Each structure stands twice: as structure tokens, then as C-alpha cells.
Structure 1
């Protein structure tokens, strides 16, 4: 009797649980679009769940792309205009409405056919966030369940009503004061929102956060840095808590394979970036590609691109999923373009190399606890792997040359290879399209003490004065990892931007000089060029409204590239009537300060004239014995530090409004940088 009663109660309990907690229904329409090839709508950052940025639209193709003109151009009301901001987001388009976010985390909805504004969301974000690494930027949005989602620099994830722009929910996933933020576009999938987090230069503990898409409730977190006893903890020094502040941020939008139930993403650099002396071991999961079970966050596999990274070679660009045939066998691939200049191509079912990747011995520096070997892919790198000797530097090295307290030249630099830029894949050509930066840096290590919310890099790097800064754009054959074709660019193109590929045989991309380009996907031949008037450093998107195909790109500049800032959304079509704008000032192609020399000026302002990452004047001439004042008038902390270590001068970190002075007694030419933002250059000529 009791057994029958217990069986009945158990049945009721199970039935009750099934009845009161059904699986939460996702957005069926968005879910279908995410799983399908990209057509008339562009509903997620990478086009669909693969991140392959491939559009099946082909009304615009290689035969008629030269007839494109501007269909409309809309300005985003001054949002994110200024030297501290970058405009790098891909717009989203659904049912004839376009949604785009700026570097100030402001969101705009527009008529995708006319550019007419429908609604605006102004973030009201604090302008004195001091833990921003590399410029104010937001790389895109997600959509689902009738909401638009974004991450903000203040480490909030926000959901907006698609029809009105009103805030539906806002969830903090950390505190920006502790070094955290969000710059990546989130991913909507199966009723969840997935978001990475920034802060690799501030001693954070990286993580992926999964939130309920309707409510904003945090469902689970997966930490990219293992706690003691967790998988990967054996790759950190035993008996220490170094991994708890080891960086490993996630800068990119994940991808998903619904059939495998796996979610994929790339993980950034370790902290402190340049000092490996106190973190002996491979330091998982820094600089790795990772797969988790999408529903639970349970670990599936990983592949580390750089063991014990001391060069800031973080894996920052989005992973790309693709299907291919190798040796007559169908294979499921995943690829990521690293800052090493290599593309890493794996089997996405298990994380094993799809094409060869061999562990090879590399140069050693025992004080840096360097790894004995590094994984070197079979195939071709997209940028040079060794630096050329430059006067004034004792050593010129290659990709894995270590360093200590004397500057060592290395190429690709930590801002080389591909950095944040998405890489599309075309099933028609079988090519991956990779933007690259070619830049030599002088690397140096120094001691760094951890303080919550303060920079924690353990050294730095900067391009030597007068050294060239150029780029490459490369088609890589995904079956061989070898170059199919490559073009050299006069500017760096790996620090933003990216491209999109279409069934019309086109590769679409912008350049920091303001030009929007269309190339033949098979050959790389340039077919179309249009001047947008602002730095075109965002990935384009392709969509259709009322049977007409459009191409859209955000043009507003990039703070690290130094390209011309603005707030424009350009769209193009075969029926367009708008012509190009005047070309803006071109970004620098040689490292060093620019502009006229100001005679007799003994006061330098940092962050003046709405250009956060600059010195004003950048070049000044004074007499020996003059004391020069450096005042931070920008929104975030800066310093002024000599590029020549034997000079030994630095203002130290200056908060907003703070001033420090330096006296220059000896004649000569003194170059300096802002060490947290080493793309800022200044010059003092002492007579």
C-alpha cells in the first residue's frame, strides 16, 4: 500500500515539475533566422550563429557593383563623436528597420530604406570611466524576444524594446570601478543572452555570462580563469591566487553550433600582460579558443594559441564556423584570426587541429618563465613574423622573441595581426578574409603591483618613432591555411573594421582613410571605391527591403587608428543617387607625433579639443632649463612617459584635471608616449 502510494506521489511530483517549469520558449522567428543562411535580414553581429558574415543576396554582384551609389546617409546626432570614441558596430536589420549602436553606447532605430529616425536610446553613461582600455567602443547589438540587447562600458547589459527604445531591463554583470566593462556585441540564442567582458589590462577575472533574455536574470557564468582545484588550475603557480587576477577577457561575440549544442568564443591575454615572471605555467584559458555546452556552460574543449602569453597576443576577433571537405571527408571547422598573424583552424567537434598545428621550440627567457614550445600552424601567416633592425635598439626579434628590462623589437606587435576585426568565410570560394596590421613594437617588462581597478600590465610596448605602420588584407584558403591572394594596404586595417562576403562574389570592407571598397572575392581585384568622409572602420552588412538590396557601413573613425571621427551611417544600392564626400585627413602611416612645432610653449594638455588620445601641442620647442607642465584635461587617466628609458622621466598617472611638471635641462629631442595608450606620441625639442 505504501509502495503504491509513494509511486503515485512520485508521479504527481514529476508531473508537477514538468507542468510548472516548462522549457522557456525562445523567439521562434529569430531562432530560425539565426540558424539559416543570411537573407534579407541581418539579425546578429556575425550575420547568423556561424559568425561567417556571408550574405546569400546577389542582386549586387561583380558585374554591376561599380554602379553603386549612396542610397542614404544619416548622421547619429553627434553621438560618439570625438577622438576618444570608435564607431565599429555592424548595424542589425529586421523587417525594414535598422538598429545601430555608437561608441557612447547610444542606440538608434531607423527606417532601413530611407534612413529616417524612428527612436533613440541615450545611455547617459558616465564620461569619467577610468578603466577603459583601448577607446570608447561598442561592437554591436543582438535581438530577440522583441528586444534589442547591448553591453555597456559600465559593465551593464541592457535590453530595449524594439518598437520604442524604452529600457526593458538592465543587469550589471560587474562593476566598472573594478576594471570591468563590455565592448563586444552580445549573442541571442534560444532565449539566452551571452556576453563577454573586458578588463584584461586591469587584473580582472574574465568570464562569459549567460542571462535570461526576457528578464535579464543571470543564469550562469563560466570563468576563463580557473579557481584552485578547477580544470586548468594546474597551469598556474600552485598555492597562489594569481589566476584570480589573470585577465583573460572576452572581446568578441560567440558562435553556436545548434546540432552539437556547443557555444564557441575566443579568450584574451593574461594579466599582467607583459610580465610572466610571477605566473609560471601555460596560464589557461588565456589566449585560447573555448567551447562550452550552450545551455549549461559546461566545459567541452579548448585550444590555446599562445602558451604563457607575455606579448599581449590575445585572441580578440570572433570565431567563425564553417563546413568543408578535407581529404574527401566532410568536416566541421572553426577558425579564429589571432594577433600572432596566424589563422587557427580546428575541428569544432573536439578542438583538434583540422589542418596541422605543430608545437615548436621557441627562444627562452628564464626570468619570464617562458613556455618551451608554441603552437605554429601549418600554412601562411598574414603578416611578417620578424622585425627589421631600427637604429637605437639593440635587438630585433621575431614572433616569440622574449624580453626583459631592455626594449626588444618584435613583429607582429601586440597590436598586430588581427585585433577585434571579424573575419568572414565564403562557402563559394572556401576562403577566409583576414585584415591585418603590420607594426613593429619595442617591448619591455617592468614590475607591476596589483590594485583593484588600476592598470596591471607589467610592462608595455610602443612602435618606435619613424617606424612604418601598414596593413594587409588576405584571402586564406580554409582547406590549406595558405594565402590565396593578398593585398598590401597603406594603413593598418587589423584594429577594427573587418569585412563581409556575398553570394554575388563580393568582399565588402572599409578603410581608415574613409573609403568603402568592394573586391572580387575570388581574386581580390578592386571593383568599387567610395569616399564616405569619415574613417570607415566598421564591418559592413547586407540586407533587402521591398526587393531592393542595400549595403550599409558605419563611418565614424577609430581612436586607435587615428582615423577621422564622425557619426555617419552610409547605405548603398544600385538605385542610389548620392555621391561621395571629400576625403578626411588620412591616418598616420609612420609612428610618431604629428602636426606643427609650437615654439616656446611650456604647457601640454592631454586629451584636449575632444581628442582624448592626444597631446596638444604634440610637438613643442623650448630652451634648455624650461619646466614643462602636463595637464590631463581628458576624461580618463593618462601619463607622459619618455620613450628612452635612460632619460627616466615620467609624470606618473594623471587623473582628470591633474598637472605634473618636468624640467628639461639638456639640449636634445625627447619623445614620449602615454604608457597606458601607447599610440599617443609627443615630442619636446630642447635648444
Structure 2
């Protein structure tokens, strides 16, 4: 105790506030907060109880208090910084807030959880995950996309494979379960789904020889309820779509790394799945590879299979169905249909009848180019309609070969002087879409970009669990990536409007009955757009990349909008550690825009904390010339995994963030200069790494691509 204040989890909170919250935790409070399926299915009008706003993942606010006529008056109410959690270079802030009973809950990329009081912006309690800094099976940045909530608990899925339940009043651990081991490739990046006494989670890990699965646990004590495997085993439906002469199915990917949706009336849970493993070498996994890159429905109570629709047969391009599925009821030709939609990385939006899994607006099964060494599928299903961004290419980039203008371009090893094969990747990633039921519009965030592809024909052996298992690589081709924010009419699957951005679109959205669409930008702006045409109506500079999804709620008669402003490793956006709250009665003005390369915090550090939310050096400061002594390659390898691998890949040939292959033949001083100052679309790390670190990581990168 000091000055009448109580220390909770390392955070100082007012004693009166803590006592008041504790008083709310009566014995029956958990039962009262066992939100019914009908409560969680209704559109939110006060609290934001679940990731996605409701069980349908619609992310729609049906109240008009903030609208297109008055949104220009929206200002900040408070800004709360989270003590530097998740500031280090490897972390991304992607979490959607949960709001209930005057408290906002948020999780950082370090998997630390914070409870913040709406009245004051003060941190009530915090939970520190203390992740093992040596976790080596994280594909695409250390992150968490949100929390589950119910029965008086906050549920967090962690990168170390733990599912943890926290008392919502105090932050104390109610139970913790080691659901899977990160050493075997399993990490949790999505928000758990609370439903009818269960907590349901999927896993990332398709790049690390994992076999996809979804698991349900009892919300009261963490006991296991059921498991559904997204790669069928022997004797199960779909197993015959994998080879019978090897055990690749045990490493077959098809992971579920976004939050499922639920239709309580049908008793079904829906999710989409990731790429098969290995990503780029299809030779070892001949067949359609169910249930990879599919939309799947299972019985939510038992976890039993009900139906599936495979978007891409025998995927070779890492075209995960990464965007969270959205459920909606819509009238088409005078009949109200129960629909489900998911927009893929390939750019196509798939709209199905969620009762049967059949295409709702038609599907064409189109012959595609063949590569016998890749065991390519003969045809691919193409949804009828018009894509949000172009999915064809008519001119090859310099130094590349164009084998086909369409998205399903085949490729092989690209060795012995072969030109690189390129194709489009003009689709959506994880940033969630939102649905306006009045306009019948699905708002999507996609990107126009090109990638090259290369298979590793020598990678045929089955790796141990947790080992890198990609079978090749892909990466950028030195061309700019542009974002597209689009509204798709779900009755025709065609754009109602599209707006092209000069930078990447990498943020989720929430639509409102006030004719608004709220979303973020990588440059730190939080934006409101007109739902009818996509024109910007309001912007607010938050100081760090807004690469997440907002939450909207009502508290004591006033409407608020909350968003996490923390930046993103994938988008290379400026870092921060702030939660912002906005209302029409706010008084805070925007802050100064951050420099594009202002990375906050050090590149290392297990918890990702920094003493203050300020850059370690000005963005325009170039570190002193690195000493050209003997590099520490062990340190270089560690740093490369944290700050380089996401873009350039484990082998330096390109990674998930579309970085170009590392240029061979660089001297150490030349490489240090590039890493320090940046080049083309790559930002510099002179303000985030020490001179020794710059030397070490540069030397390691050179070694990856030595001839």
C-alpha cells in the first residue's frame, strides 16, 4: 500500500476502484455473465462482448449516435499507454478490445492483458504472460488478435500454446491449460471464442509441420471437451485426399488461426483453414489435401464434422483462408438465405449457404495451368462476381517470367538459371471484414501485389514437429503494394465501391448504422469513411500504426469508439503501446504523426517491454558505422529471426511479408548500410539496433545467400 493505492500485477490502481470492482465479484456473478447464445448473437447495443461484436462476426454497430453528420466532432477522451508491452520489433498490436460493465480489456503482442476503466482510462489490473523469449515456431510476428469473455473470466490464447482464464475483476489466473506445445509448432494467435460454457480455440503452425485442429475446453475449469482435426486421419472422411505412401498428413497444416463464428439456431460452428504443409512443394502431397484452404462447419457441441467447401484444391501458393468467416441472413430473389462469406488471399470472395455449404451465387470450376512435378489440381472453383482487386497480371516484372495471367500460376524450383515465376496475391489477410445488414455490403481490406514462387524439390523428408516445413519460398518482386478498401454487394458478389490506397490495407473494420465505416491505417491514422461511397469523413492521428479492429459501445448513455494503436511487424508500421477512447464529448486532439520508420523499443527482450513509449533514437539518426570486427553469428541468427525473417524468409529468399530475396554478393559494410538506412520499401533499423547488432545480423544475412 502507498498513498491509498493498491498494487495489482505491477500496476498501481486506486484502492476505491479495486474494492468496488471486487465487490461486484459476488458468488453468482460468473453465472450471471454466462452470456446466452441468444445474447451473443444479437447485434451489440451497449457492451462489445465478443471478438467480432457478435457470434456471427459481423462487426456492426446498430446505433446512430455517432453518424456521418457529426463524426467530424469525434475527439479523444483518453489515451492509455500499456507500460511498453509489445513494443519490441517482433511484436504486432492486432487485438480487438472487449468492453463490459465499464471496463475495457485488451491484449498486446506480448500476450500481456490489461483491464482499463472507461471512466478514467486508468489501468485496473494487468496480467503478464512472461512468454519464453526462445519460442521459435512463430510464423508471422508475435501477436494476439483478441480475447474471449464470459462467466466472469477473460480468456487469452498464448503463443506458447497455453489457454489461460483470468478473473475479470482482479486479473488473477482462474485456470491455465497447456493445450499444445509450441516446440511442436503450435501457437495461438486468434481470440478464443466463448460459447455456451465452452472456450474454443484454433492454432497457427502450418509452416512448422503442425497438423491443424480446433479444441474446446470447459469455461469453468479448463477441462477438455472435444477436438476436431482439420487434416483427417486414417479412416476419417477426407483422408483419401492425402497420399497413402507417406505420413505427410501428420504435418499437413490446414491450421485455424482466426476466431470461428457460431449459428446457435443451427448448432453449427464455422471457420476457415490455412494452407497445406509443406506450403510450396506439392509433389509430396498429391491430392486435394482436405480440409486445407476450406470453409468448414462442425457441430458446436460435439465437434463433429457437418460440411466443408474447399476454396483451393491442392494449394501451392500459401493462399490461406485467413480472413474470419462472416455469417449473415440476406434476401435474394425474395427468399431470406442463411449465408456465410470468406474472402481469400487469392482475391476471391466465397459466399455459401451456411446450412448446406453449397455456393449461393454460383461457382465455376475452371481448368488451370498444370505442372506435373507439383501434382497440380485439374480445376479450381472460381466464385461468380467481380473481385475487390484485380487478380490477373498482363506484364511480367523485370527479371521474371509470366507463365499465365491468372492467379493459379504453376511453378517449380526456378534453379539453373530459370527466371522467377510470378503471380498475383491481390486478396485479404487476417484483418477482419465487417457486414452492414441494411446495405447488404461486406467491407473488405485487400492488397494489390505480386509475388514470385519457388519450390524446393529436395525438401521431401518429413520433418520433426516444430521444424520449419515450407518446401520452398515466395517473396516480393520489387513492385509497390497498394491497398484497396472495398464494399462488396453480397447479393451479386460485386463491388459497390472501391478506394485504392497508396499504402498497404492492413486493418480490420467496424460498420455502423450511422453510415460509417471505422478502420485504421498503417501511418497511425484512425479513420471513418462514408459507408455509401468510401469517402473519408474523419481522421485522427494516434501516433502508431492502427493495424487492428476497433470496438464500439455505449456507457452511461454515451457512445464510444475504442482502438488499439500499437503498430505491426508485417505492415512495418510505427510502433506504440496505446489504447485510445473517442467520443463526441472528447477533448483530446490528434498527436504528431510518427516517422515511417520509427520503431519503438529494442529488437530483443523476452517481454517486449520498454521504459517509455518513445523511439530509442530519432528516426533520422543513422547508427555509427558498425565495427568490422568478427561478427557474432549466433546473435545475428537470433536478430534475423526477430526482425528479418518475416519479410525475407528463413533462407533469405523471401518471406510471408513479401520481402525481396537478399541480394547476394554484398560486402559486410554494404549490408550494414542497407540494414541501417533501408532500401526501396525496406525501412532502416539504425534507430532500433546497436552498431554491434547491425554488424551481426548483416553478417548472418550475407551468409544465407553466399554463392
TM-score normalised according to structure 1 size = 0.84
Match of 2:474 in 1: 461
The structure-2 alpha-carbon separation of the partners of 1:668 and 1:77, relative to structure 1 and needing over 3 Å to count, comes to closer
The structure-2 alpha-carbon separation of the partners of 1:652 and 1:47, relative to structure 1 and needing over 3 Å to count, comes to closer
Match of 1:176 in 2: 182
Which among 244, 248, 255 is matched to residue 250 of structure 2?
244
- Equivalents in 1 of 2:654, 2:503: separation in Å? 31
The structure-2 alpha-carbon separation of the partners of 1:626 and 1:151, relative to structure 1 and needing over 3 Å to count, comes to closer
- Equivalents in 1 of 2:652, 2:493: separation in Å? 45
Is 2:487 the partner of 1:475? yes
Match of 1:66 in 2: 72
Which among 341, 344, 364 is matched to residue 347 of structure 2?
341
Instruction: Say what the alpha-carbon RMSD is for the aligned residues.
Output: 3.6
- Equivalents in 2 of 1:246, 1:671: separation in Å? 40
Match of 1:278 in 2: 284
Structure 2 counterparts to residues 186-585 of structure 1, below 5 A: 186-387=192-393, 388-395=395-402, 397=404, 398-406=406-414, 408-413=420-425, 416-446=426-456, 447-448=458-459, 449=461, 450-465=463-478, 467-494=479-506, 497-585=507-595
Aligned residues: 624
Q: CA offsets per residue over residues 97-144 of structure 1, 9 Å max, x none?
A: 110000011000011232111111111111110111100000000111
SS at match of 1:508: strand
Cα pair 1:544 1:550 within 8 Å, conserved: yes
Q: CA offsets per residue over residues 523-562 of structure 1, 9 Å max, x none?
A: 1111101111100101111001110100011000010110
SS at match of 2:266: coil
- Equivalents in 2 of 1:264, 1:652: separation in Å? 32
Deviation at 1:57, TM superposition (A): 2.0
Cα pair 1:26 1:191 within 8 Å, conserved: no
- Equivalents in 2 of 1:231, 1:385: separation in Å? 33
Deviation at 1:668, TM superposition (A): 10
SS at match of 2:40: helix
- Equivalents in 2 of 1:131, 1:540: separation in Å? 28
- Which portions of structure 1, spanning 4 or more consecutive aligned residues, are displaced by more than 6 angstroms? 605-612, 616-622, 625-629, 638-641, 649-653, 665-673, 678-686
Cα pair 1:96 1:113 within 8 Å, conserved: yes
Q: CA offsets per residue over residues 290-327 of structure 1, 9 Å max, x none?
A: 00011001111000111000100011111000000111
- Equivalents in 2 of 1:650, 1:635: separation in Å? 14
- Equivalents in 1 of 2:59, 2:190: separation in Å? 16
Deviation at 1:451, TM superposition (A): 2.7
The structure-2 alpha-carbon separation of the partners of 1:125 and 1:113, relative to structure 1 and needing over 3 Å to count, comes to same
- Equivalents in 2 of 1:144, 1:427: separation in Å? 26
Cα pair 1:409 1:440 within 8 Å, conserved: no
Cα pair 2:299 2:306 within 8 Å, conserved: yes
Q: CA offsets per residue over residues 75-96 of structure 1, 9 Å max, x none?
A: 0111111211111111000111
- Equivalents in 2 of 1:132, 1:105: separation in Å? 13
SS at match of 1:201: helix
**Which sits farther off after the overlay, 111-120 or 139-148?**
111-120
- Equivalents in 1 of 2:674, 2:237: separation in Å? 43
Q: CA offsets per residue over residues 3-31 of structure 1, 9 Å max, x none?
A: xxxxxxxxxxxxxxxxxxxxx98955454
The structure-2 alpha-carbon separation of the partners of 1:559 and 1:152, relative to structure 1 and needing over 3 Å to count, comes to same
Structure 2 counterparts to residues 110-129 of structure 1, below 5 A: 110-129=116-135
Cα pair 2:597 2:683 within 8 Å, conserved: no
SS at match of 1:632: helix
**Which sits farther off after the overlay, 224-233 or 444-453?**
444-453
The structure-2 alpha-carbon separation of the partners of 1:571 and 1:231, relative to structure 1 and needing over 3 Å to count, comes to same
Deviation at 1:204, TM superposition (A): 0.5
Q: CA offsets per residue over residues 606-641 of structure 1, 9 Å max, x none?
A: 9799899xxx9999999xx99987542646847989
Structure 2 counterparts to residues 75-86 of structure 1, below 5 A: 75-86=81-92
Cα pair 1:203 1:452 within 8 Å, conserved: yes
Deviation at 1:644, TM superposition (A): 12
Q: Structure 1 or 2: larger helix share?
A: 2
Q: 5+ unaligned residues in a row in structure 1: which ranges? A: 1-23, 589-593, 595-604, 654-661
The structure-2 alpha-carbon separation of the partners of 1:540 and 1:469, relative to structure 1 and needing over 3 Å to count, comes to same
- Equivalents in 2 of 1:342, 1:299: separation in Å? 25
- Equivalents in 2 of 1:608, 1:295: separation in Å? 41
Q: Structure 1 or 2: larger strand share?
A: 1
